[in-house]
Amino acid sequence: MKHSMDVQFEQEVEQLIKDIRQHYGYDFNGYARASVYRRVKRFLANNHLQTIPELREQVFSDSFFFEGFLQEITVNVTEMFRDPAFFLSLRQNVLPMLSTYPFIKIWDAGCSTGEELFSLAILLKEEGLLDRTKIYATDINQKVLKQAKEGIFSASNIASYTSGYYASGGKQEFASYYVSNYGSLKFDSSLIKNVVFYPHNLATDSTFNEFHLILCRNVLIYFNRELQERVFTLFDDSLVDLGYLALGKKETLAMSGIFSRYAFVDKENRIHRKTG
């Protein structure tokens, strides 16, 4: 049995979620609760708050404070070439097919601070597709989108980024893509000259274009099954026939209603293709 203190905490979080939707229009109702609870507790501790009522007071009186809360709930942790085997598979199994289109449209949904986006752009460049590709990079969180546009990443991860780049089939000197400066790496901005950045909320917004490839990795793990299904339908409506859908390494389409119309291109790396 659950502890009564935990039960009370969970009830207060439910009310908080309802009131945030009312007050700010952000709908977290479909978010998987285990992570929400953990992040709320962490946010309380980091801000030296003891209780949800104390948190509410600030959240609803100070929109700047709410921004910080939003950052905490929408986990933004990301890296370049996360799962190099995925990027290698994209390079070998998907990009050659995309190259048959005169003009390619890609949606990077939940792009966070841009590490995944730049990794993708590097692949496209090396496969000769970057100039005829338009990428729509979206996230619920406007602050991370701003950072993504800058293309400045911490140099502390350079070793793992470099090995990830080569493991993903990298063909150049990785260092040719960035300039390093005081502990940070500034990536070549020409990589994102055909990228448009939009705030887009997968929980509430609709389809806005048609794409040949949609990447949405490590975003759906934060949603419950119902919201996941909404998002899968949204992606299904946004993909051309024979378009590709790439999910995170441990995210599955198998429980979804659209699954039967998709074939695995690479099961291990969760790359699917819309077949009918």
Partner 1 sequence: MRKTPDLIVIGGSWGGIKASLEILQGLPEDYKIPIVLVLHRLRDQEGNLKQLFDKRLNLKVEEVEDKEAVCSGYVYIAPANYHVLLENDKSFSLDVSDLVNYSRPSIDVTFISAADTYGEGVIGILLSGASKDGSMGLKRIADAGGIALVQDPAEAEVAVMPLAAIEAVPTCSVQGLNSLKDYLLSLT
Ligand X SMILES: C[S@@+](CC[C@H](N)C(=O)[O-])C[C@H]1O[C@@H](n2cnc3c(N)ncnc32)[C@H](O)[C@@H]1O
Contact footprint for ligand X (CB under 6 A): 74-78, 82, 110-112, 116, 139-141, 144, 201-203, 217-219, 222, 248
What is the pattern of x (binds partner 1, CB under 8 A) and - over residues 79-118? ---x------------------------------------
Q: Which stretch binds partner 1 (CB under 8 A): 26-34, 43-51, 92-100, 206-214?
A: 26-34
Please identify, using beta-carbon distances, which residue of 171 and 249 lies nearer to ligand X.
249
Q: Which stretch binds partner 1 (CB under 8 A): 1-9, 60-68, 180-188, 235-243?
A: 1-9
| Binding of residue 43 to partner 1 (CB under 8 A) | no
Interface with partner 1 in residues 126-165 (CB under 8 A): none
Report residue 23 CA to chain centroid gap.
25
Q: Which stretch binds partner 1 (CB under 8 A): 28-36, 125-133, 136-144, 169-177?
A: 28-36
Please identify, using beta-carbon distances, which residue of 44 and 221 lies nearer to ligand X.
221
Interface with partner 1 in residues 205-224 (CB under 8 A): 218, 220-222, 224
CA angle 157, 159, 165 (to 5 degrees): 100
Shortest CB 69 distance to ligand X, Å: 13
Of residues 33, 143, 149, 261, which one binds partner 1 by CB under 8 A?
A: 33
**Considering CB distances under 5 to 8 angstroms, the limit depending on partner class, which of partner 1, ligand X, none binds residue 35?**
partner 1
Please identify, using beta-carbon distances, which residue of 193 and 249 lies nearer to partner 1.
249
Output the CA torsion sign for 47, 50, 53, 54: negative
DSSP per-residue string spanning the chain: ---HHHHHHHHHHHHHHHHHHHHH----TTB-HHHHHHHHHHHHHHTT--SHHHHHHHHTT-HHHHHHHHHHHS-----TTSSHHHHHHIIIIIHHHHTTSSSEEEEEET-TTSHHHHHHHHHHHHTT-GGGEEEEEEES-HHHHHHHHHTEEEGGGHHHHHHHHHHTT--S-GGGGEEEETTEEEE-GGGGTTEEEEE--TTT----S-EEEEEE-SSGGGB-HHHHHHHHHHHHHHEEEEEEEEE-TT--STTSTTGGGEEEEETTTTEEEE--
Q: Which stretch binds partner 1 (CB under 8 A): 56-64, 73-81, 138-146, 186-194?
A: 73-81
- Chain positions contacting partner 1, by CB under 8 A: 1-3, 6, 10, 32-35, 37-39, 75, 77-78, 82, 218, 220-222, 224-225, 228, 248-252, 255
